[in-house]
Every structure is written in structure tokens, then in C-alpha cells.
Amino acid sequence: MPLIEEKDRKTIQDTLAIKYTVHGVPKTVINEDISVEGAVPEYRLIDEVIKALEPKQWSH
């Protein structure tokens, strides 16, 4: 027996797709702030992870 029923899995996927505005796959979301859509080279993902780890600059 699956842990999540198929209909529930579809609902969860749809909910997450709306939350993260997914238009294509794969879509990688980092810290709910930065996202990369599509198949990208590893160096691009690493650059985005590093960017997500940098302190945020607050503007007034």
C-alpha cells in the first residue's frame, strides 16, 4: 500500500506547483527565495546555492 494515495499525491503536486509557480520541470527552489527552472549545468546550480547563502541586502 503506498504511503500517499495517488489522488492525494496529485493534489500535493498541484499545490506545490502553484506555490512555487512551476511552469516546467525540473524546477529547483532554494530557501523558498531563488529558483532555477529547467535542466542546467551543475555550476549554475552551485552559483545559485552560493547566492542563496549570501547575506541579504536590505534596501530602504
Predicted pLDDT of residue 33: 84
Distance CA 24, CA 22 (A): 6
What is the average pLDDT value for the chain, to the nearest integer? 85
Q: pLDDT category, 2, cuts 50, 70, 90?
A: low
Residue 1 lies in a domain: no
DSSP H helical ranges for the chain: 6-19, 42-53
- The average pLDDT across 29-41 equals 88
Q: Which domain holds residue 38?
A: 24-54
Residue 45 lies in a domain: yes
- pLDDT at residue 16 greater than cutoff 70: yes
The total domain count for the chain is: 1
Which amino acid, one-letter code, is at 22? V
Residue 38 lies in a domain: yes
Residue 30 lies in a domain: yes
Distance CA 32, CA 23 (A): 16
